[in-house]
Chain A
Amino acid sequence: GNSVTQMEGPVTLSEEAFLTINCTYTATGYPSLFWYVQYPGEGLQLLLKATKADDKGSNKGFEATYRKETTSFHLEKGSVQVSDSAVYFCALRWPTGGGNKLTFGTGTQLKVEL
């Protein structure tokens, strides 16, 4: 079946450091890929998405590129801020057959310190 694997957290960085959170997926065909962020006490917010191979999603300084050859969708940001502290989830969705069901990774907690 479809699955998403994320790097284990927590990840602790200093402000302005470079961030990478790894995400790989297992699926046949070409699912859509997403990164969601969850701040303490809140629901999930869509951060960015990509729907086909080589697409790059970007938002608020975060980027991720859909790599079909490595089945990966790693999240990156060049300079993190304290306000980026949150839990980040990688997810996939099939365009047909699965409705709008999202399959999530386990989440990676990011803590950014001054």
Chain B
Amino acid sequence: KAGVTQTPRYLIKTRGQQVTLSCSPISGHRSVSWYQQTPGQGLQFLFEYFSETQRNKGNFPGRFSGRQFSNSRSEMNVSTLELGDSALYLCASNRGGLGTDTQYFGPGTRLTVL
């Protein structure tokens, strides 16, 4: 079974631009979560989508948004990019159940904002 895939793997943007990142979960998984990883703040939860609905949201400004499609693929968008948005963005999927279900992570998208 294929793992979680994220595209693109690397991205370079300039301040003020916007960016869209994509995540394809493991087949049969209905929940997709997004995390931001930076050296200063570590791993921080952005949001979770389940059955095309946002189920949970972290403490990020409204410039960060996401969506999920009927095939469970998810995208996240960052508008008006700032230098501090440079990070590794990780996507994770699981079957969707709450509690003990294992989350599987993708390799991440490395975003650099110049």
Given the known A-B contacts A43-B90, A43-B108, A89-B43, are A102 and B103 also in contact in the complex, defined by CB atoms under 8 Å? Answer: yes
Is A45 an interface residue when CB atoms closer than 8 A count as contact?
Answer: yes
With A43-B108, A100-B31: A49-B100 Cβ-Cβ less than 8 Å = yes
Residues of B within 8 A of A36 (CB): 105
A98 at the interface (CB under 8 A from B): yes
In the complex, per-residue mask of A97-110: 1 if CB is within 8 Å of any chain B CB, else 0: 01111111111000
In the complex, chain A residues whose CB is within 8 Å of the CB of B50 = 99
Chain A: interface secondary structure? loop
Supposing A49-B100, A95-B100 touch, asked if A100 and B94 sit within 8 A by C-beta, the answer is yes
- Cα distance A106–B105 in the bound complex, in angstroms: 17
Query: A42 at interface (Cβ–Cβ under 8 A)?
Result: yes
Q: Interface SS of chain B: helix, strand, loop or mixed? A: strand
- Interface status of A58 (Cβ within 8 A of chain B): no
Q: Contacts A100-B98, A101-B56: A106 and B45 contacting too (C-beta < 8 A)? A: no
Number of interface residues of B (CB under 8 A): 26
**A89→B45 CA distance, assembly (Å):** 14
Shortest Cβ gap from A24 to chain B (Å):
16
**CB–CB A99/B103 < 8 A:** no
- Give A6-59 interface residues, CB cut-off 8 Å to B: 32, 36, 41-46, 49, 51
Selected contact of B42 from candidates A95, A98, A99, A106, CB within 8 Å: A106
Residue numbers of A with Cβ under 8 A of B are 32, 36, 41-46, 49, 51, 89, 95-96, 98-107
Other than the given A96-B98, A99-B31, A100-B101, 14 more pairs (CB < 8 A) read: A42-B107, A42-B108, A43-B4, A49-B100, A49-B102, A89-B43, A100-B31, A100-B55, A100-B103, A101-B33, A101-B48, A102-B35, A102-B92, A105-B42
